Amino acid sequence: MPSAKHALFHMYSDDESEEEIEEETDHEKIYKQICDLNQEEMNFFEDISSIGAFYRFNIAYPKTDHWNKPRKYNNVRSLFYKSVDEKTLNLICPRNHYDYIGEGTFYLDKDLVDTLFMFAERWCVAHDIKDVFWVASCIIQFSCI
């Protein structure tokens, strides 16, 4: 007949292994989430690089840490005006009287602006980012390098 000490040891030993199993399962879930996110990013870069205006993604992958950390800004146009021309800037955000004027040379027609925001939204969903304009501006800035 097993002693009380023996039974107590096995009782705690079993609890410990259940905790270890639970911890391993949590680690596996986190690992799977990271792998899934990495795969989504690779698919994102592959898909966006097939769009002529965003060909730069074919040549290199951007450093995206800042994509996931939107900065504060007062005006949407302030995110884009140095990179895109005035026509593109007006498609992104109509101009007010005393507003930023597009100084860049990067041009997108309406369909490409829609495509830009489709990709920005896709990135936002994958990374739980709430600012599609910020991500769109990061895509533009990388495309203009």
CA distance linking residue 30 with residue 33, whole number of Å: 5
Evaluate whether 102 touches 84 at the Cβ level (below 8 Å): yes
- Give residue 73's Cα distance to chain centre: 19
Residue 118 has pLDDT above 60, yes or no: yes
Using alpha carbons, select from 22, 29, 144 the residue that is nearest to residue 80: 144
Per-residue pLDDT, 17 = 61
Alpha-helix residue ranges (DSSP H) falling in 50-109: 56-59, 77-80, 86-92
Average pLDDT rounded to a whole number, residues 82-92: 96
Q: What is the pTM of this model?
A: 0.81
Residue 71 has pLDDT above 50, yes or no: yes
DSSP state of 128: T
Number of structural domains in the chain:
1
Per-residue pLDDT, 8 = 45
> Which residue range forms the structural domain that includes residue 26?
4-143
Residue 111 has pLDDT above 60, yes or no: yes
Q: Is 56 exposed, middle or buried (0-12, 13-18, 19+ CB in 10 A)?
A: middle
Residue 10 has pLDDT above 80, yes or no: no
Triad 77, 99, 69: Cα angle to 5°: 25
Residue 4 has pLDDT above 60, yes or no: no
| pLDDT tens by residue, 32-66 | 888 988 899 999 999 999 999 999 999 999 999 99
Average pLDDT rounded to a whole number, residues 2-7: 51
Residue 70 has pLDDT above 80, yes or no: yes
In the block, tokens 């769009």 appear at: 51
**Between the CA of residue 85 and those of 10, 52, 68, what are the distances in Å?**
72, 17, 25
Q: How large is the C-alpha radius of gyration of the chain? A: 24
What six digits make up the tokens of 81?
Answer: 């005006």
Q: How many CA atoms lie within 13 A of 115 on its CB side?
A: 16
Residue 14 has pLDDT above 80, yes or no: no
pLDDT band at 26 (very low <50, low <70, confident <90, very high): confident
